[in-house]
Amino acid sequence: MSAERSEIEQFMRGLEHRNPHEPEFHQAVQEIAESVMPWYLAHEDYRKAQILERVTEPDRIISFRVSWETDDGDIRANRAWRVQFSHALGPYKGGLRFHPTVTQSVLKFLGFEQIFKNSLTGLPMGGAKGGSNFNPKGKSEREVMRFCQSLMTELYRHIGEDVDIPAGDIGVGTREISFLFGHYMRLQNRWTGVLTGKGCSFGGSAVRMEATGYGCVYFCEHMLNHHGEGLEGKCIAISGSGNVALHAAEKAVEKGARVVTLSDSDGFVYVREGLQQEHLEFVKDLKQNRRGRISEFAENYRGAEFHEGEDPWRVTCDIALPCATQNELQENDAEALIRNGVMAVCEGANMPLTAGAARLFAAHNILHAPGKASNAGGVAVSGLELSQNAMRISWSHDEVDSLLQKIMTEIHLSCVQHGTSHGRVDYVRGANIAGFKKVADAMLAYGVF
């Protein structure tokens, strides 16, 4: 066994022992450890300062009960967390997720990834994530409002514009951010940019809603261009039908690609001719306002097929954009995509590939952009929202979009710079080393911290 391999195994054994029953967190750390270990071992100062051991231990985890009342007057209790992982590069920053699958392990993996993603944006932001096992599906507007207000009644003590600035994620969109923000103001009696993803008429930034999906397509285009290819005419399979999936689809269609799928947890829709803007508007209204299922799209449009209980990875495509959730694309899905000729996989979601699927793509030289690089556009525009709030100004759509494009270009360059060997770019390694190095240097500069 090589020295590197045995260091990784020894490090992971210790981490698993200290953090039992947290498989998602182990997976996210293992990916970073595999990428950075050779470089880490070559730098005695980082090793001596125990950077890897310290950066995998959250600064703190706040866990609390959220009690709320249903419309029928019944009392419910959920569990919520805020994982403040690292503020080495700036105030804690990262979304809130409301979904029944939320656990401490899921939020630790997301908070950990957020440290390096935020580092890649070049903006001064640390890494955090939070959320609750609350399921918004089937809840009335008033129930969601009462839940958000109860959650903020505890969370407000732990956040602040220079301390920790939450935002949205799965199950938390503009509606939820508005309820949370309104309640924060009531509790604190002051207006401050303590959350991002706010409505544009009350301190939100232009393009924040679109930024993750648009940024993912900008990154994908750079990755293709760098390898002598382009987006125009490419067939794209997208999973999910939420904020990230729909805006990725919108930008890809605008750039002349043929987007053939969208999905939710019930199944996927397939449109051979490619989705049009009119279809995307229908799904936006369906998901954001009517809160319906993707199958309703197929019921309303001839030529759209609904595949119940399946994910979209068996359709023939050039590019796959997984934009739903973690570990949604597994080894057998990767095999099917490779068999069908996929050339690039660009992650809109956080850690949507299992480790086995990622290994298969690497072994077949398929271009693979990890979420911490390709979906960083969302948090980057959140960073720009913070700047606008601090300056009490609003930038136009075009101003923010051009800054977003610039940031995605820089992130792509960082991946190329740190991930190229023998003429091939390993985007996973490049993103991990580029993101990690800045955090490690800051920790070193702070001394014992």
Ligand X SMILES: O=C(O)CCC(=O)C(=O)O
Chain residues in the site for ligand NAI (CB under 6 A) = 168-171, 212, 240-245, 264-265, 323-325, 328, 348-350, 375, 378
d(CA 222, CA 230) in angstroms, rounded, equals 8
Kindly tell me which of 39 and 282 has the beta carbon lying closer to ligand NAI: 282
* Cβ at position 329, least distance to ligand NAI in Å: 11
State the catalytic residue, choosing from 108, 129, 287, 437: 129
Stretch that binds ligand X, among 30-38, 92-100, 186-194, 278-286 (CB under 6 A): 92-100
Residue 29 CB partners (closer than 8 Å, separation 6+): 12, 15, 56, 112
Residue 198 in contact with ligand X, rule: CB under 6 A: no
Residues 376-395 that bind ligand X (CB under 6 A): 378-379, 382
d(CA 57, CA 111) in angstroms, rounded, equals 11
Q: Which residues of 104-139 are buried (b: 16+ CB within 10 A; e: fewer)?
A: bbbbbbbbbbbbbbbbbbbbebbbbbbbbbbebeeb
CA-wise closest residue to 155 among 80, 225, 230 = 80
* Cβ at position 56, least distance to ligand NAI in Å: 20
**Would you call 406 a catalytic residue per the annotation?**
no
8 A C-beta contact, residue 90 and residue 439: no
Which pair of tokens denotes residue 300? Answer: 């309303």
* Cβ at position 263, least distance to ligand NAI in Å: 6
Which pair of tokens denotes residue 108? Answer: 């630790």
Kindly tell me which of 349 and 400 has the beta carbon lying closer to ligand NAI: 349
d(CA 440, CA 344) in angstroms, rounded, equals 30
Asked if residue 239 belongs to a known ligand binding site, the reply is: no
* Cβ at position 216, least distance to ligand NAI in Å: 9
* Cβ at position 350, least distance to ligand X in Å: 5
| 336-to-237, 258, 357, 399, 426 alpha-carbon distances in Å | 13, 20, 11, 41, 22
C-alpha 298 chain-centroid distance: 28
Taking CB positions, which residue lies at the least distance from ligand NAI?
Answer: 242
Residue 325 interface partner, choices ligand X, ligand NAI, none, CB cut-off 5-8 Å depending on type: ligand NAI
Residue with tokens 């299922």: 293
Kindly tell me which of 6 and 265 has the beta carbon lying closer to ligand NAI: 265
Asked if residue 93 belongs to a known ligand binding site, the reply is: yes
Catalytic residues: 129
List residues near ligand X by CB under 6 A: 93-95, 114, 117, 167, 169, 196, 350, 378-379, 382
Sequence ranges of the binding site for NAD(+): 212, 243
